[in-house]
Amino acid sequence: MKIEELRNKFPALDTKVYGRPLVYLDNAATSQRPEEVVSKVSKLALESNANIHRAVHRLAAEATDEYESTRDAVRSFLNAGSREEIIFTSGTTASINLVAFSFGEAFVGEGDEIIVTESEHHSNIVPWQMLCSRKKAVLKVLGVDDEGHLKLSDLPSLISSRTRLVAVTQISNVLGIINPVKEIVSLCHSMNCPVLVDGAQGAVHQPLDVTETDCDFYAFSGHKLYAATGTGVLYGKRKWLDLMVPYQGGGEMIESVSFSGTTYAPLPEKFEAGTQNFNSVPSLKPALEILEMMKDPELVAQCNEVNEYVYSSLSADPRIRIFGVPRGTESKTSIYSFCVDGVHHEDLALILDKMGIAVRSGQMCAEPLMDRFGVTGMLRASFAPYNTMEEARYFISSLDKAIGMLK
């Protein structure tokens, strides 16, 4: 596939900003939507808009088929052992909160421990803080070094007989470094500790085989991998999901209800209370198909060329401090967070916006990581396979111009 063919699938890329062609480099926050995704949501809303699982009429049957066939597609995407291990949520945040509550209620007590890392998004910190506060448990933190790598040698000493779970990001939304998830899972399992992996960035950059990796939980969002907003996935090993209590009560998640007590539905309905996002969840199917198309060798080569150019250009500029430094032959995803001495990140972002370039500025929902590096915020440019070398060169030249205007 040629990159022009890919870009033609994303109408938003033809947008003009202040009279200039849009250069969209905020993909780590949310990706743009291909026509196939927009069409799927529109078709379901207009032609098969009915609540799933409950009614016997044709529209309900069509909506249910679309929803449940998406579960099969996601199971295949992750190589999960069964479709019952795939829970639909509103996004990564909801998935992690589900585990923090339901796993926490079942397995965490006073004095127990949860481990997170210093490079986590707030969504993989705050739910665990809430759990620890509720249960009088202890939150422990695995640090990162000056280059943004996890201090893995410290992990064995952090894990104790009271450690109930380790929560780690596959790829930091700030640093772009691919963490050695399989190694982490293996180590934790050798010490009888389950692992939750935040795949919000990983699912789009380096899809995880949950069977091969052997993680216990895996969470990701649809809107970061070209699907509709309000869609997300939680994969959980059946052995845990069966023992966990429901996160929410309501319709669909029940087997039988009476005032003397309630029994719960089997997996996956046990964790899908209420009316689900049945118009949007099926957009995961065409999004995953687009993701598969992006594995085209020509597109991969083009992406690698763009990423090498951007990283080398940023690294070579003495005015720029880049965060997340790969080592040796390690790969760094197309997420570039950096600071410019004497220049505020938001001022840079505002000037780049006037040039038609969309980037992110601020703390990127990772305030502890900002504190670790002694900054109040950063500028982040995040690329997708639909970003061209021409856009990359324009970004670098525009950044140089913007820095020159502010220094």
User: Looking at residue 115, which CATH number applies to its domain?
Assistant: 3.40.640.10
Q: Please state the φ and ψ torsions of residue 77, each to the nearest 5 degrees.
A: -60, -40
Mean pLDDT per 10-residue interval, the chain, length 407 residues: 95 96 98 98 96 93 97 98 98 98 98 98 98 98 97 98 98 97 98 98 95 98 98 98 97 95 96 97 98 96 96 97 88 94 96 98 98 98 98 98 94
What pLDDT score was predicted for residue 329?
66
Other CB atoms closer than 10 Å to residue 108's CB: what's the count?
22
Element (H, E) at 302: helix 297-316
Note whether 26 and 134 are same-domain residues. Answer: no
Element (H, E) at 126: helix 126-135
Note whether 219 and 329 are same-domain residues. Answer: no
Note whether 177 and 279 are same-domain residues. Answer: yes
Distance CA 321, CA 332 (A): 16
Closest CA relative to residue 303, chosen from 332, 326, 337: 332
- 25 by Cβ neighbours in 10 Å (0-12 / 13-18 / 19+) ranks as buried
Q: Please state the φ and ψ torsions of residue 234, each to the nearest 5 degrees.
A: -120, 120
Which among 246, 268, 290 is the end of a domain?
290
CATH number at residue 376: 3.90.1150.10
pTM here is: 0.97
Peptide bond just before 282 cis, omega within 30 deg: no
Closest CA relative to residue 383, chosen from 397, 393, 370: 393
Note whether 334 and 206 are same-domain residues. Answer: no
Considering the chain, what is the average pLDDT of its residues? 97
Element (H, E) at 47: helix 35-47
What type of residue is 256? Answer: S
Other CB atoms closer than 10 Å to residue 316's CB: what's the count?
8
- 223 in Cβ contact with 83 (< 8 Å): no
Note whether 24 and 136 are same-domain residues. Answer: no
Active site residues: 365
Note whether 166 and 270 are same-domain residues. Answer: yes
Closest CA relative to residue 176, chosen from 396, 325, 295: 325
Element (H, E) at 83: none
What pLDDT score was predicted for residue 300?
95
Which among 290, 311, 343 is the end of a domain?
290
Number of domains in the chain: 2
Closest CA relative to residue 102, chosen from 239, 195, 241, 217: 241
Which among 255, 290, 325 is the end of a domain?
290
Note whether 300 and 265 are same-domain residues. Answer: no
Other CB atoms closer than 10 Å to residue 46's CB: what's the count?
9
Note whether 304 and 234 are same-domain residues. Answer: no
Note whether 166 and 264 are same-domain residues. Answer: yes
Instruction: Supply the range of the domain harboring residue 182.
Output: 38-290
Helix 345-354, helix 389-406: angle, nearest 10: 120
- Per-residue pLDDT tens over the stretch 20-59: 999 999 999 999 999 999 999 999 999 999 999 988 999 9
Note whether 286 and 346 are same-domain residues. Answer: no
Note whether 52 and 169 are same-domain residues. Answer: yes
Closest CA relative to residue 367, chosen from 30, 31, 100, 126: 126
Note whether 232 and 335 are same-domain residues. Answer: no
Q: HSE-up of 192 (CA within 13 Å, CB side)?
A: 4
Cβ-Cβ contacts under 8 Å for 172 (sequence gap 6 or more)? 119, 120, 121, 148, 179, 201, 324, 335, 366, 369
